[in-house]
Structure 1
């Protein structure tokens, strides 16, 4: 019968509004005989419109009605649908999400009645209820039908939201358990003589064992057999093998009703090559001697599900201890990580972007990260020993092993991805983990997940978002450096008892184990989350502290930092999660006094040790430092506050440089020590020099702003000299400078001079105000006439002086002059003024060379401290800094006019240019460079270790050992370090004797 045009139009419009994609076909179905109740009832049409695929739901309903036995049965179904909303939602929800279950209902038209019950006890079914649902199935075909009927009830409540994804997965695992028991019972009934000979236990593995099964999945099992009633063991095992094989066939074989699912026993010892059934003793022997890392990872989810329950429990009890010892295996963490990478590498290229399970950002990323953390930390924390991914993740978060926010994001992403996987498989009840490409499929999936507005676009966006979150957190957790260190701890060390801790303190070299234990107690006692995270960190940190010359200081400093930052939400999370932050902190806190002292005054600088937005340990450029300092000065109310703010930036950035130097020198377990020690020297020299320049620029701005507002009456520039101008400052170096000014147009020279002198005086005063920060001393003694000359001169005055009065030492000193702060144009003109002096066109006469030699000899005799061993004095001793620098600078004075490469303020650059120009042999240049780098590192090491500057090795044994550790010498090798220094310096002195005092 054909509807009238008006009615047709009305139904067509309603179908479109209800989400039908083919309303014409739907209208034709509704015009069929017997569908008038559906067509005319708005409740049923609304319910169809709520289905994931209304067209599919309507087609399934029509087929189900047609399959009913007569008109009475059809009317009963329709009446029940109209009257009972729970049934209506369940049945139409299934029909709109699963073509396979619609097919089952068409073949078994009475099974819809399994969806009628709607009681609280019906919401979360367990194994016993599923066993009742399978009762009466006396052959594989009827078992398959009963299984599908039970599956129908799970799917119905799933698509309606009565149960959420974790409960769905658990019910699917419980249904699998009931099915395995039923299949084994059929096999035993078929061979009672075999059943009498043996005890057989079925152990679920994988997702079934973890209570997180898919709709369509292999069910992984392991079989354990024993002889029963004194039977011969060989006969018993053969009988058990026949029973196990028969059980597997019942589940796996295809019948007229299809198959249930494959039972996969390939996780057993030796895989497919091993016997299907083994005794418990045989299993235990295999895992103790031959098992690979992945096999213990698989055992995480093992649980007995069928057969002899006592034997199953014995199996788990015997094997579980081995699971929690697996992390102690050599290369355990690396093996698990390698296995995950291999899985990804084996995904076909055409599928990798659609792989929901195995691909990057997929379900396996979550599972592997969780399992690795469980295996590492679960040895000593039984709360982590769950076979269910989400339960284990929750326990990891509760124990502080994973951040709460990270755990919440992973939980959310995993639930979404599992829901999507369930809906994909539910459609055809086929085993697949690929997100479909067809738009209709995507639309159905999106709607089934509640994404009703632009379901295709929204689904794709949400899937990619969750995958991105999973990938990021997988990388963060799965490749966390701390895992290797925790896994390497001996059994029991992951949680320290008092006695074990004391013994460990002594063994690790702690000089005061009683004090160390007090620190441990203060840090890790209690039941707070903070204490739990500390208990995870401390066993590893103790080992890293011990890899220093002063473990006691490292632990004490860690306690101080933890006390200062313990209430901040990010501190312990940073150490647990962010790259090598924990190891970096351990190295920094135990390497000496300077870096910890800086950190104690600004504990928040710990953030620099991670991999986040703090910029890590890479020193910042001079321009960015200057911008920050000037901005801080601008915000300050007065000059004192401005300089205080500038000092705060200096303190933090000095810590960054110290930390980079220490970590580069010590290395980490994931990153060996820097091979090129010269690179570390350049890093420190450049960073400290840039920081000093930025601090002076800020101080200058603060003084000018307070005294004159925006514009000083005279242009003003600061010229760096010595190591400052050479970008070679050490941690304890003074800032050698010259001050130059030039009156602005229309300004009286006397007024300009008074302003310039006031600026210099005020800068020096502000920088000398007592504070806990490392001092920054301005030294202007290299100015014309030295201490007797004016502190600041005009450019014209400098020109007149240098033209008429300059001495050889002043020309020598100007080799390292470089503009560092203030007026750039004035600074440039100053350097242009002095270039002819420091790079004389006619070189140096013999008298000038003799004068330089006399000056160097006098400096060494007058400045070398009384009682110091000259051979170990890094600055003035033979082969030390002075020797190398004066040799290089003499080359610059003599040849700089003709060799552009020599026109640099940097020692190593000038040395390399001299070698390139043929002025020094490659061998000699290498000897001088090695000596200069080593002497510079010795001075840096002394400052880092003692917290104050020094030019010679410490005499206190612990301090000397700390300098040795910084230079790469292990415990007990301080003598080797001193011998190596003397040897390097002696070779350099030989080159200096030849070049500086000989044939230059």
Structure 2
């Protein structure tokens, strides 16, 4: 007696170590008479500890031993448990995972012997093996018993890891198939007269059709009936309906042995309101005329499983062509997406976070994404037509429709979520997709999935990790913009056959279809993954190229970029997966010369067109740009290399700005063309001006570092003037600047001046080194005394000059002065110096006003190109940039002292301030603003289209059409564009005549 506590204490500790949670109860069970032969067997504890729930497994084993009809049967079970490890693992594994199967074994204590055999046929049974296991069933009750016996074997292989989740799901579907056949045979035996009248085919749908069934699930079916030869069709369909109904009852009804599973025929035409059985012709008539999108999606998994299999194959063969044309239906992709959203919206709020199947990041997210991709791409690629989710996902990855990494993550997540679902359902064999809240149940599920350290916490972590992956990839794949475009293509176009491609090219307006076909063949021929992805992209991109003035150039440019980046793994993946990247690229490559030329020199900038870490198309701040350029300069060896590095950043950022401008002007299916043209102009002007300032700052740093090390002997600042100072630079604008310096303490002024002049000279030289990039020209002609004056002055020299010699035109020019680079304090003091000149306290006298008017007239007469149509000159023509800017600047000079809002370097801001101050009417301000924005956009468009700056509309018809497309005019409307420009400019000129020239009436 004294040894017992010690023995029990030792056993108690061992039980806890093996995963028991109620060690006291387990000790009592181990001391029971039934387990006496195994009480001291260490193998038993190890086997119990390996189960999902050792307490449950031990209790189930005791119940099973108690249920044995006599001592001999109990002895046989015990001996087999001791001798046969496979049986021990299988039996205890099931008992530790499922109370429902433990109950079955208690009711049918001989059924444990179904787990004894361990042959290859037993490891991977199919429909025939399951039919053999159900063969002795003569009524619904015995069918249920035989079904559970077969289910016992599937569960044993599953929980022991002999089969994976996909294989278990396939076995469950095969068992369902055998059960449907057995149930139909029972129904036919009960009504042989009905069976003689008709042919009845049972078509599995959903998870059963896809051979990926759950432990407990509705088995979705459709019934097809035909009359046997010589029979009346109406009577035959009635007979088939009775047989189908009886078969459904056999499977669905509850008996003393419980039920098998509900048979659900609601996926049939018209759902529960439609006839249970239809003829094949009736099915086809419905699908051709009335079927909704979701019904074709459901038919993707249709598979004949029972009854007349020949008739079933006829049915599947007849509906398959309809399934693979469904994607061509109007709004197909949006309809499927809407259906998925509706499913999520209908989940009760209390269940959303526990839903494994329907919730965000659940199984349905994977299934819907895969099915949508199958239906869109499977029209042309028959390898995608599997009804099994994981097989289809594998085929989508092999074909390049889904990235390999994405497919691998989805596969892993789907297997994990399905395993969770299986373990949850297996416990009580109840149909549920909710993760339980009870900690003991969560512990059992976690342990069953191999999570043994902290099963509950680890289960939650893994579940959320996989759900997050699923949700992210579902959003990426299911809502991929390219899908809808591909879905709208005809099947021949989706295949991109030579004949279909040639016809499509001609119809889309390609001038040289022969050359275009050669590009297509070079891009899409072959069996490589790259070619497969191109075959998906190209039919859609051809249409996007055609929405430009030069589709041929767009396709040619696309080939060049693809040739340059074809071996880069992220390139085609970006176009396939990342938002509107493919459409953005098509727009950019076919909109003119500037953006493609920039891209060809830095093809990796394609990444900017996506939604990833490249920053997208949003312009970067001046501080960010300056930081990057200065870092590149500091890494470079010598000033020349430093400026080359700065030019590389400038090239990329010019491409970003141009691409954003083009996309904003053209629009995409995701984002229509930007309505606020002024915002587009401001974005371009600000981005190019900030980039120019950052480039000058980098060049200045490079020159100073090369010539003087860390510090120049004089403080040095660059002042932006004109459009540069106004944040209104265009793609081809020069950088108007002033240079100012101030000797440091103790430095001789001559030495300081020599250093400052050398800086300016070296900056200009470095920036003028020939390059394929758009030039960055420094123009200092707005300095005191113009071209005849010194390039750089001290702050005191500027002060002396402006105090004694300043002319009206210089005050005018200084309106747009703003520090852009160099010593910030010096730049600030320069602005303090010039503020009284550009915002004179007494306003502007009449003589000064007349002088400004004379200057403007002389400038226009001298600078307007010979032979140019003044009415179409965006800068110097009537109603052009010069008219609007000089009018606004005159208001600034006259009223800037008393109206703070006018003290800005930006034209549109000053115009808005003048309107707010009542200096100009709302209508006149709107007219001038519209004209200025339009003229600026014309200049930007010319640079984008031709690759070189210009102030007038191109004369080449294709270039003119491209400018029109940028400005929102479709093909054939170049004349409307020119008329619209003249009309806008004419209205602006009338306002200018009154406000600038003082003409009282318009």
- What TM-score bracket applies, with the shorter chain setting the length? over 0.9
Contact 2:34 2:62 in 1 (8 A): no
Q: In the TM superposition, what is the alpha-carbon distance from 1:34 to its structure 2 partner? A: 2.8
Q: In the TM superposition, what is the alpha-carbon distance from 1:33 to its structure 2 partner? A: 1.2
Structure 1 Cα separation of the partners of residues 756 and 243 of structure 2: 101
Instruction: Describe the superposition over 1:902-953 as per-residue Cα deviations: whole angstroms up to 9, x where unpaired.
Output: 0000000000000000000000000000000000000000000000000000
Instruction: Describe the superposition over 1:562-607 as per-residue Cα deviations: whole angstroms up to 9, x where unpaired.
Output: 0000000100000000000000000000000000000000000000
Q: 1:541 to 1:827 in 2, by over 3 A?
A: same
Structure 1 Cα separation of the partners of residues 731 and 270 of structure 2: 61
Structure 2 Cα separation of the partners of residues 670 and 8 of structure 1: 71
Instruction: Describe the superposition over 1:774-801 as per-residue Cα deviations: whole angstroms up to 9, x where unpaired.
Output: 1100000000000000000000000000
Structure 2 Cα separation of the partners of residues 321 and 306 of structure 1: 22
Instruction: Describe the superposition over 1:219-263 as per-residue Cα deviations: whole angstroms up to 9, x where unpaired.
Output: 000000000121000000000000000000000000000110000
Instruction: Describe the superposition over 1:180-219 as per-residue Cα deviations: whole angstroms up to 9, x where unpaired.
Output: 0000000000000000000000000000000000000000
Contact 1:293 1:332 in 2 (8 A): yes
Instruction: Describe the superposition over 1:492-536 as per-residue Cα deviations: whole angstroms up to 9, x where unpaired.
Output: 111111121111111100000110001001000000000000000
Contact 1:580 1:610 in 2 (8 A): yes
Instruction: Describe the superposition over 1:418-457 as per-residue Cα deviations: whole angstroms up to 9, x where unpaired.
Output: 0000000000000000011111111100000011111111
Contact 1:446 1:459 in 2 (8 A): yes
Q: 1:177 to 1:624 in 2, by over 3 A?
A: same
Instruction: Give 3-state SS (helix, strand or coil) of 1:435's partner.
Output: coil
Contact 1:48 1:54 in 2 (8 A): yes
Contact 1:39 1:45 in 2 (8 A): no
Q: In the TM superposition, what is the alpha-carbon distance from 1:608 to its structure 2 partner? A: 0.1
Contact 2:945 2:963 in 1 (8 A): yes
Contact 2:406 2:473 in 1 (8 A): yes
Q: In the TM superposition, what is the alpha-carbon distance from 1:2 to its structure 2 partner? A: 11
Contact 2:700 2:759 in 1 (8 A): yes
Tell me, yes or no, if structure 1 residue 806 matches structure 2 residue 803.
no
Q: In the TM superposition, what is the alpha-carbon distance from 1:9 to its structure 2 partner? A: 1.0
Q: 1:2 to 1:105 in 2, by over 3 A?
A: farther
Structure 1 Cα separation of the partners of residues 251 and 594 of structure 2: 70
Deviates more, 1:644-653 or 1:118-127: 118-127
Instruction: Give 3-state SS (helix, strand or coil) of 1:492's partner.
Output: helix
Structure 2 Cα separation of the partners of residues 119 and 199 of structure 1: 37
Structure 2 Cα separation of the partners of residues 484 and 632 of structure 1: 42
Q: In the TM superposition, what is the alpha-carbon distance from 1:38 to its structure 2 partner? A: 2.4
Runs of 4+ in 1 over 3 A off after TM superposition: none
- Once the two structures are superposed, the pairs formed by residues 103-252 of structure 1 within 5 Å of their partners are 103-252=103-252
Contact 2:717 2:740 in 1 (8 A): yes
Instruction: Describe the superposition over 1:110-167 as per-residue Cα deviations: whole angstroms up to 9, x where unpaired.
Output: 0000000111222111000000000010000000000000000000000000000000
Instruction: Describe the superposition over 1:5-50 as per-residue Cα deviations: whole angstroms up to 9, x where unpaired.
Output: 1211111111111110000001111111131222210001110011
Contact 2:446 2:452 in 1 (8 A): yes
Instruction: Give 3-state SS (helix, strand or coil) of 2:353's partner.
Output: coil
Structure 2 Cα separation of the partners of residues 532 and 490 of structure 1: 18
Instruction: Describe the superposition over 1:726-774 as per-residue Cα deviations: whole angstroms up to 9, x where unpaired.
Output: 0000000000000000000010000000000000000000000111111
Structure 2 Cα separation of the partners of residues 3 and 406 of structure 1: 61
Contact 2:34 2:66 in 1 (8 A): no
Contact 1:931 1:984 in 2 (8 A): yes
Instruction: Describe the superposition over 1:443-500 as per-residue Cα deviations: whole angstroms up to 9, x where unpaired.
Output: 1000000111111111110000000000000000000000010001123111111121
Structure 2 Cα separation of the partners of residues 587 and 812 of structure 1: 40
Instruction: Describe the superposition over 1:853-890 as per-residue Cα deviations: whole angstroms up to 9, x where unpaired.
Output: 00000000010000000000000000000000000000
Instruction: Describe the superposition over 1:313-344 as per-residue Cα deviations: whole angstroms up to 9, x where unpaired.
Output: 00000000000000000000000000000000
Contact 1:3 1:31 in 2 (8 A): no
Structure 2 Cα separation of the partners of residues 332 and 119 of structure 1: 48
Structure 1 Cα separation of the partners of residues 391 and 38 of structure 2: 44
Deviates more, 1:503-512 or 1:241-250: 503-512
- Once the two structures are superposed, the pairs formed by residues 28-427 of structure 1 within 5 Å of their partners are 28-427=28-427
Structure 1 Cα separation of the partners of residues 3 and 334 of structure 2: 70
Contact 1:208 1:220 in 2 (8 A): yes
Structure 1 unmatched runs, 5+: none
Structure 1 Cα separation of the partners of residues 801 and 463 of structure 2: 75
Contact 1:373 1:483 in 2 (8 A): yes
Deviates more, 1:450-459 or 1:574-583: 450-459
Structure 2 Cα separation of the partners of residues 928 and 229 of structure 1: 85
Instruction: Indicate the residue corresponding to 2:456 in structure 1.
Output: 456
Instruction: Indicate the residue corresponding to 2:525 in structure 1.
Output: 525
Contact 1:326 1:332 in 2 (8 A): yes
Structure 1 Cα separation of the partners of residues 55 and 149 of structure 2: 23
Q: In the TM superposition, what is the alpha-carbon distance from 1:276 to its structure 2 partner? A: 0.1
Structure 2 unmatched runs, 5+: none
Instruction: Give 3-state SS (helix, strand or coil) of 1:570's partner.
Output: helix
| TM superposition score normalised by structure 1 | 0.99
Structure 2 Cα separation of the partners of residues 361 and 732 of structure 1: 49
Q: In the TM superposition, what is the alpha-carbon distance from 1:413 to its structure 2 partner? A: 0.2
Q: 1:155 to 1:290 in 2, by over 3 A?
A: same
Structure 1 Cα separation of the partners of residues 81 and 239 of structure 2: 51
Structure 2 Cα separation of the partners of residues 571 and 5 of structure 1: 71
Structure 2 Cα separation of the partners of residues 15 and 955 of structure 1: 91
Q: In the TM superposition, what is the alpha-carbon distance from 1:3 to its structure 2 partner? A: 8.1
Contact 2:713 2:747 in 1 (8 A): yes
Instruction: Give 3-state SS (helix, strand or coil) of 1:690's partner.
Output: helix
Structure 1 Cα separation of the partners of residues 974 and 825 of structure 2: 50
Contact 1:2 1:31 in 2 (8 A): no
Contact 1:840 1:896 in 2 (8 A): yes
Computed over aligned residues only, the root mean square deviation of the Cα atoms, in angstroms, reads: 0.7
Instruction: Give 3-state SS (helix, strand or coil) of 2:294's partner.
Output: helix
Structure 1 Cα separation of the partners of residues 37 and 887 of structure 2: 105
User: How many pairs align?
Assistant: 998
Q: In the TM superposition, what is the alpha-carbon distance from 1:71 to its structure 2 partner? A: 1.3
Instruction: Give 3-state SS (helix, strand or coil) of 1:739's partner.
Output: strand
Instruction: Describe the superposition over 1:790-814 as per-residue Cα deviations: whole angstroms up to 9, x where unpaired.
Output: 0000000000000000111110000
Instruction: Give 3-state SS (helix, strand or coil) of 2:820's partner.
Output: strand
Structure 2 Cα separation of the partners of residues 37 and 467 of structure 1: 47
Instruction: Give 3-state SS (helix, strand or coil) of 1:353's partner.
Output: helix
Instruction: Give 3-state SS (helix, strand or coil) of 1:230's partner.
Output: coil
Instruction: Give 3-state SS (helix, strand or coil) of 1:494's partner.
Output: helix
Structure 2 Cα separation of the partners of residues 37 and 86 of structure 1: 19
